[in-house]
Chain A
Amino acid sequence: MSYFRAENLSLHFGGLKAVDAVSFAVEKGEILSIIGPNGAGKSSIFNLISRIYSPTSGRIYFEDQDITQEPAFGIAKLGIARTFQNIELFENATVLSNLLVGRHRHSQTQLWQELLFLPSVRAAEKVHRRRVEQVIEFLDLEAYRDKLISGLPYGVRKVIELARALCSEPKLILLDLKLPRMDGFEVITWIRKQEGIRAIPVVVLTSSSQLRDVNRAYELGANSFFVKEFDFQNSVDLTRLLERYWLQKARKPESSRPERKRAGE
């Protein structure tokens, strides 16, 4: 049995089939990359897993347990963390409290205890804080701890979103890596290097009308699957795609820049 498994997942909006009978499985410690052009339904698959949408048909299994009927917060409580394509952070809160929200699935304290801030709450808070600090250290976020999200640049926000997902100590991470001018695969490479979280299976999502991303997924040894066929001339064969990519690259080296001339020289 697979660690995480989706069977015949479908999402139909009336006549529009956003996701149509998609099946895939992820093992522990594996990277699965979901690749497809714009509008192929990659984000919809993510939203189906994290239950922002309910599937029209199909089943989702996690650790051999049917989670198709779980509510959205239940999915997160089970240990499936995700990031969003359009960053969904808590804008008017500090970075620290954003990350502490990531710890919510581990919080045990009751309301009346919190109202009095009993020693047990204080102790639990410190444990959360220590875990968060570890992630902050991992991702070099020390400089932003007490900053409000609303004042931070895009790149930092993206990292914070990843940090928030890591703070929940997830068993499965869904990374939506549609990043403008930022290589999301670097993040995965980084995750792979980390001692504590190497075993977490990662489902990666990339918008790839770009061959570069397909190549990077391939290099990482990720199992990729295509949501919809590419319209790159008659081929979806990965090896042939990559051949084409290397050929293109050989023809047009990235580092070649036209030399600038200054006036007067």
Chain B
Amino acid sequence: MRFMFKTDYEDDIRLFPHSGYLVSYGVLLAVLAIAPFALSSYLVSQLVFVCIYATVGVGLMILTGFTGQASLGHAAFLAIGAYTAAYLQQFNVPFPVYFLAAGLLTGVIGAMVGFPALRLQGIYLVIATISFAFIVEEILARWESVTHGNEGMRVKTIQMLGTTVSRDSPAFYFLCLGVLILTIVGTLNLLRSPTGRAFVAIRDSETAARSMGINVSLYKVKSFAISAAITGLAGVLFAHKLSFISPEMFTLQLSIEFIIVILIGGAFSLHGAVLGAIFLVMIDPFLTYLKDDMPGIIAGVAATLGAGAERAASIKSSVAAFASANGLKGAIYGVIIVLFVLFEPLGLYGRWLKIKLFFQLFPLYKRATFKRQKIYVKSERNR
């Protein structure tokens, strides 16, 4: 186990507390750098989706994980980013310009959503953000002169610095990875400065935050704006990756997927956003496998156990019907959320920390280390 001896205030501030971090993140970065040349195009494409979802996850983490304001409307911010890109592209606006414009616009809209949210808390805030998402979805479907309504919009490939960055090229992967890394570094910078601490303070006790001189409303709006802006940037990349966008892609289910990203990753750390994104992107191939192979496997097992050919065929067709049932994806997401909240509230990153600590303290690890203590009843919350 490593003991840190701090000799300078710099030790509390720096992003890499010791050389171990530098080595492990350096190796990770090297692996990610050679990935597009070593992996199949399908896997690289999945990695791009991981980057995009993780960027959204970081944005949502700022709002939900650090400021404590729940949101089920982030699909709308993603949509606004995507549509801004698609719209501005028609006028031959260069990529860097509309990329930043999309972030700016979603940031402003995020701040506007933040203002009414000041008076709302918990479940009511969730309802408000859901309704915001529905409004945006509806506007996208009806405002045909700009969004082409339900027909959707084509998104052309990126033209940057005189070259074309196609959506399957390694260059696009590096663009997404770069955006993700910059977002993470920016967020970490924020967290080690007064604004980030104010966010965490608001999450844990608004009353105390207020009496420490934190303008709670201002910081909530800031948090909404930053979170939305990051999601908007991810939206541009999302639009380019899919090359076609339409309103029905940005539904409530997408917002729930973003919540899954941070909840399953662990809603207290940026590692969680990335781990959650990897998890979420991996669910889809798993569901496809379920749909394609499971009926055959179960029928085969039934046949081996002595079921007749007719019986096996009927089992196969009923399992296939179940696997391709409408809304099965949503149901599976729901079950995953419930299981994680019940059994692993700290998420995948929390599990990783536990495993790490187990080996660090080898014979002395005790399970109670991560148990949250709630001994003192807060009778006077003064909300």
Is A42 part of the contact surface with B, judged by Cβ < 8 Å?
Answer: no
Stretch of A109-117, A216-224, A246-254 on the interface side = A109-117
> With an 8 A cutoff between CB atoms, is A154 at the interface?
yes
Task: Kindly list chain A residues whose C-beta atoms are within 8 Å of the C-beta of B12.
Answer: 96, 129
Q: What is the CB-to-nearest-CB distance from B48 to chain A, in angstroms, rounded to a whole number?
A: 25
Q: Specify which chain A residues have a CB less than 8 angstroms from the CB of B190 in the assembled complex.
A: 111, 114-115
Q: Mark B1-23, 1 if CB is under 8 A from A, else 0.
A: 00000000110110000000000
Chain B 357-383 per-residue mask, 1 if CB under 8 angstroms from chain A, else 0:
000000000000000110111111010
**Smallest Cβ-Cβ distance to A127: which chain B residue:** B9
**Cβ of A164 and Cβ of B380 under 8 Å apart?**
no
Contact (A47, B382) CB under 8 Å given A75-B211, A82-B211, A129-B9: yes
Q: Taking A47-B382, A101-B197, A114-B194 as contacts, is the C-beta distance between A72 and B205 under 8 angstroms?
A: no
Proximity bits, A88-122, B CB within 8 Å = 1, else 0: 11111100110011111101010100111100011
Residues of A within 8 A of B222 (CB): 111
| Residues of chain A lying within 8 A (CB to CB) of residue B203 | 90, 92
Given A93-B200, A109-B193, are A101 and B373 also a contact pair (CB < 8 Å)? Answer: no
Closest-CB distance, A88 to chain B (whole angstroms)? 4
Given A84-B208, A86-B376, A114-B190, the answer on whether A130 and B9 have CB atoms closer than 8 Å is yes
Q: How many Å from the CB of A166 to the closest CB on chain B?
A: 12
Complex-state Cα separation, A92 to B208, whole angstroms: 14
Cβ-based interface call for B251 (8 A): no
Interface mask (B202-240 → A, CB under 8 Å = 1, otherwise 0) = 011101111111111000001000000000000000000
Q: What A residues does B9 contact at CB under 8 A?
A: 125-126, 129-130, 133
Answer whether residue A197 sits at the interface, using C-beta atoms and an 8 A cutoff.
no
Nearest CB on B from A95, distance (A): 12
Number of interface residues of A (CB under 8 A): 49
- Mostly, the A contact residues are helix
> Given A73-B214, A76-B212, A86-B379, are A121 and B197 also a contact pair (CB < 8 Å)?
no
B200 proximity list for chain A (CB < 8 A): 90, 92-93, 97, 101
Give the distance to chain B from A84, nearest Cβ to Cβ, in Å: 7
Are B216 and A97 touching (Cβ within 8 A)? no
CA distance A164 to B190 in the complex (A): 21
Report how far A43 CA is from B209 CA in the complex, Å: 18
Say whether A207 faces chain B, with CB atoms less than 8 Å apart: no
How far apart sit A117 and B216, CA to CA, in the bound complex (Å)? 22
User: Could you give, for residues 26-60 of chain A, a 1 whenever the CB lies within 8 Å of some chain B CB and a 0 otherwise?
Assistant: 00000000000000000100010010100000000
Residue among A73, A85, A86, A116 with most chain B CB within 10 A: A73
Interface size class of B (residues with CB under 8 A): 35 or more
Known contacts A90-B204, A90-B205, A111-B222: A104-B210 contact under CB 8 Å: no
Most buried by B among A96, A101, A111: A101
Question: Using Cβ atoms and an 8 Å threshold, which residues of chain A touch B210?
Answer: 52, 72-73, 76
Q: How far is the CA of A82 from the CA of B376 in the complex (A)?
A: 20
Q: Which residue of chain A has its CB nearest to the CB of B216?
A: A73
Q: Does A139 contact B (CB under 8 A)?
A: no
A105 to B198, CA, bound (A): 11
Please give, as numbers and ranges, the residues of chain B lying within 8 Å of A168 by CB-CB distance. 212-213
**Distance in angstroms between the alpha carbons of A111 and B200 in the assembled complex:** 16
Given contacts A50-B211, A102-B212, A111-B222, contact A126 B378 (CB under 8 A): no
B194, B372, B378 — most chain A CB neighbours (10 Å): B194
A52 to chain B, nearest CB (A): 5
In the complex the two chains form, is B193's CB within 8 Å of A104's CB? no
- Tell whether A126 pairs with B13 under 8 Å between CB atoms, given A90-B201, A97-B197, A115-B190: yes
Instruction: Please tell me if the beta carbons of A73 and B215 are within 8 angstroms of each other in the complex.
Output: yes
Interface hub of A82, A116, A122, A130 (most chain B Cβ within 10 A): A122
The reply to whether B211 and A76 contact each other, CB–CB distance below 8 Å, is yes
For A77, give the chain B residue with the smallest CB separation: B213
| Cα(A107)–Cα(B194), bound, Å | 7
Residue of A nearest to B187 (CB): A115
Contact with A along B35-48 (1 / 0, CB 8 A): 00000000000000
A100 touches B208 (CB 8 A): no
Q: Does B186 contact A (CB under 8 A)?
A: yes
Docked Cα-Cα span, A85 to B211, in Å, equals: 13
Is B194 in contact with A73, judged by CB distance below 8 angstroms? no
Q: Considering only CB atoms, which chain A residue lies closest to B225 in the complex?
A: A111
Q: Are A104 and B204 in contact (CB under 8 A)?
A: no
What is the distance, in angstroms, from A110's C-beta to the closest C-beta of chain B? 9
B192 proximal to A (CB < 8 A): yes
Q: Is A264 an interface residue (CB 8 A)?
A: no
- 8 A Cβ contacts from A222-253 to B: none
Q: Which residues from B are CB-within-8-Å of A97?
A: 197, 200
- List of 3 A-B pairs having minimum Cβ-Cβ separation, nearest first: A76-B213, A90-B204, A88-B208
What are 29 A-B pairs at a CB distance below 8 A?
Answer: A47-B382, A52-B207, A73-B213, A76-B212, A77-B213, A86-B378, A86-B380, A90-B201, A90-B203, A90-B205, A90-B209, A91-B205, A93-B200, A96-B12, A97-B200, A101-B198, A101-B209, A104-B201, A111-B190, A114-B194, A115-B190, A116-B189, A121-B189, A121-B193, A125-B9, A125-B192, A126-B13, A150-B373, A164-B212
A-B contacts besides A76-B213, A105-B213, 10 pairs, CB < 8 Å: A76-B211, A76-B214, A90-B200, A101-B197, A101-B212, A101-B214, A103-B194, A116-B189, A117-B192, A126-B10
B residues at A contact (CB < 8 Å): 9-10, 12-13, 186, 189-190, 192-198, 200-201, 203-205, 207-216, 222, 268, 372-373, 375-380, 382
